[in-house]
């Protein structure tokens, strides 16, 4: 299936697009109520939408043949599965959250005036490369539904709707970073997000003016224990906070490290040290961008990688090689990005060295007999929007 009219015979009313994201810095800090600094990228998921005169949502994607449907009157996470849960889940989550913000009596009442839609999905966000194709799909659906159903809500609210859909309809225990980046991002900027207050500030990056480019190096490594590793790291952070007598690691900062080292066992201490220093690195990155510009943030990216490799222990040899090779070939900073145990690294490189860095990483992977990575540049782009 290649386009809307191959599948649907309703009249097309519009198209909405939402970007994937790259997290520049601030890893595993989200569920510790800390700071993250992601940017929306120039890879998007686009939905083409037709208005129906009944209450059915029908979805199709270039991913597979066939279509999935669900009535707005029968939205139920238990009945959702597969990729369509990302779209149906947004409608369900709107029903759950709208009554509170709009002062409505029930979930059913929230969408009682909504009409059904035919939705065709296509995307240039690679799946599972750590660029959040899931949030791109959710956020495209969220801005489309908000507009077509005349819901007067903020983008921050839609981010929380996306998170609820991903947590409870899809069943993935993720934070709110990806949706915030996809909804609040702006060209040439990143989103400085406080995961406790949910305050978000858009900070200019200035990569282009400084002749810098951000490369994504997708190692294609997927580790079976990624989910287990994530759960275990979360548990270590909770244990560290409890032993330190605070609700969350956000309530500590780097000045608390000496006390932490006297109280905590070695492993828990190193997990805690990653979170506290990573929060500080996010703050330092934002401050450095403002005072010295993007050419000065490289050491913070490098230090973030060392912390994830040695203290949080979520890197893998392929990511370490991608980072070290990029640095040797002229990147001003590099780090693994995303949850770890595989996925992608990012390297901030002078534009003139972009091809040399890519070639060096490809050579190093070939020499190590690792699977060939996919390397591409990404640019900070606008968040979810109507296309036409
Ligand atoms: P990512 O890191 O890319 O977000 P996830 O596992 O969180 O990886 O989300 C990927 C899932 O999102 C896919 O398996 C699929 O279910 C859904 N998805 C993403 N893009 C599309 C698309 N264009 N069409 C259909 N489903 C999609
Ligand atoms: Mg995802």
**Digit-coded pLDDT (tens) for 65-120:** 889 999 999 999 999 999 999 999 999 999 999 988 878 888 888 899 899 999 99
Out of 118, 178, 218, 311, the active site residue is: 178
Tell me the two tokens of residue 327: 């640095």
Collapsed DSSP state (helix, strand, coil) of residue 376: strand
CA separation for the pair 222, 7 (Å, rounded): 33
**Nearest to residue 181, comparing CAs of 292, 32, 289, 25?**
25
- The beta strands (E) that lie in 26-174 are given as 35-51, 56-61, 64-71, 117-123
Collapsed DSSP state (helix, strand, coil) of residue 92: helix
* CATH number of the CATH domain containing 270: 3.30.70.890
Assigned domain for 266 exists? yes
248 shares a domain with 146: no
Ligand 1 probe mutation, 122, 125, 133, most atoms within 8 A of CB: 133
* CATH number of the CATH domain containing 148: 3.30.230.10
Tell me the two tokens of residue 370: 């690792």
**Nearest to residue 359, comparing CAs of 215, 167, 197?**
215
CA separation for the pair 334, 217 (Å, rounded): 10
Centre of ligand 1 from the C-alpha of residue 297, in Å:
31
Closest ligand to C-alpha of residue 127 is: 1
151 shares a domain with 214: no
Residue 13, pLDDT above cutoff 80: yes
Rg over CA atoms, the chain: 21
- Name 378's Cβ contacts closer than 8 Å, sequence gap at least 6: 22, 41, 42, 43, 131, 214, 215, 216
Q: 22 or 66: which carries more pLDDT confidence?
A: 22
242 shares a domain with 171: no
Last residue of a domain, one of 146, 169, 202: 202
197 shares a domain with 211: no
pLDDT of residue 223: 76
**Digit-coded pLDDT (tens) for 284-325:** 999 999 999 999 999 999 999 999 999 999 999 999 999 999
DSSP state of 170: I
Can you give the residue range of the structural domain that contains 370? Answer: 207-378
268 shares a domain with 329: yes
Q: 173 or 62: which carries more pLDDT confidence?
A: 62
Assigned domain for 2 exists? no
191 shares a domain with 87: yes
Count how many domains the chain has: 2
Centre of ligand 1 from the C-alpha of residue 269, in Å:
35
8 Å CB contact between 334 and 190: no
Assigned domain for 299 exists? yes
DSSP state of 36: E
Assigned domain for 242 exists? yes
Last residue of a domain, one of 184, 202, 220: 202
- Name 254's Cβ contacts closer than 8 Å, sequence gap at least 6: 276, 277, 280
Give the position of tokens 């287990």: 228
Q: How many CB atoms lie within 10 A of CB 291?
A: 8
DSSP state of 28: S
pLDDT of residue 102: 79
CA separation for the pair 321, 319 (Å, rounded): 5
- Name 43's Cβ contacts closer than 8 Å, sequence gap at least 6: 19, 20, 123, 124, 125, 126, 131, 136, 378
**Digit-coded pLDDT (tens) for 327-350:** 999 999 999 999 899 999 999 999
241 shares a domain with 165: no
8 Å CB contact between 136 and 122: no
pLDDT of residue 101: 80
Q: Does the annotation mark 194 as catalytic?
A: no
Q: What average pLDDT does range 244-273 have in this prediction?
A: 98
Residues with CB under 6 A from ligand 1: 45, 61, 63, 83, 86, 121, 123, 127-128, 130-134, 137
Give backbone dihedrals phi and psi of 248, rounded to 5 degrees, phi first. -150, 155
182 shares a domain with 245: no
**Digit-coded pLDDT (tens) for 136-180:** 999 999 999 999 999 999 999 999 999 999 999 999 888 899 999
Assigned domain for 134 exists? yes
Last residue of a domain, one of 202, 225, 246: 202
228 shares a domain with 177: no
225 shares a domain with 317: yes
Give the position of tokens 């510009």: 293
pLDDT of residue 1: 64
337 shares a domain with 309: yes
């Amino acid at each position: 299936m290649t386009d809307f009219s191959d599948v649907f015979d309703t009249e097309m009313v519009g198209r909405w697009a939402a970007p994937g994201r790259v997290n520049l810095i601030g890893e595993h800090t989200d569920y510790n109520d800390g700071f993250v600094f992601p940017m929306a990228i120039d890879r998007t998921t686009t939905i083409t939408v037709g208005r129906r005169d009944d209450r059915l949502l029908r979805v199709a994607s270039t991913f597979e043949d066939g279509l999935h449907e669900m009535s707005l009157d029968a939205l139920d996470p238990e009945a959702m599965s597969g990729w369509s849960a990302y779209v149906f889940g947004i409608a369900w989550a709107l029903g759950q959250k709208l009554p509170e913000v709009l002062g409505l009596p029930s979930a059913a009442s929230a969408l009682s005036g909504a009409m059904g839609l035919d939705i065709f999905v296509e995307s240039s966000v690679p799946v599972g490369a750590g660029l959040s194709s899931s949030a791109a799909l959710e956020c495209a659906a969220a801005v489309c539904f908000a507009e077509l159903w005349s819901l007067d809500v903020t983008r921050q609210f839609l981010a929380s709707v996306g998170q609820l859909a991903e947590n409870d309809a899809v069943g993935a225990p993720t934070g709110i970073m990806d949706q915030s980046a996809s909804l609040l991002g702006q060209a040439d900027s990143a989103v400085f997000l406080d995961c406790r207050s949910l305050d978000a500030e858009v900070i200019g990056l200035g990569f282009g003016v400084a002749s810098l480019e951000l490369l994504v190096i997708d190692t294609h490594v997927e580790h079976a224990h990624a989910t287990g590793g994530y759960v275990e790291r979360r548990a270590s952070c909770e244990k560290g906070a409890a032993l330190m007598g605070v609700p969350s690691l956000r309530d500590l900062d780097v000045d608390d490290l000496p006390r932490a080292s006297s109280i905590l066992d070695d492993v828990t201490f190193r997990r805690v040290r990653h979170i506290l220093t990573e929060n500080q690195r996010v703050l330092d990155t934002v401050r450095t961008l403002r005072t010295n510009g993007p050419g000065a943030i490289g050491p913070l990216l490098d230090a973030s990688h060392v912390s994830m490799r040695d203290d949080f222990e979520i890197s893998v040899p392929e990511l370490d090689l991608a980072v070290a090779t990029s640095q040797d070939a002229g990147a001003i900073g590099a780090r693994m990005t995303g949850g770890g145990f595989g996925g992608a690294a990012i390297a901030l490189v002078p534009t003139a060295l972009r091809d040399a860095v890519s070639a060096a990483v490809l050579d190093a992977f070939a020499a190590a007999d690792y699977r060939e990575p996919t390397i591409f540049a990404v640019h900070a782009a606008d968040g979810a929007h109507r296309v036409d």
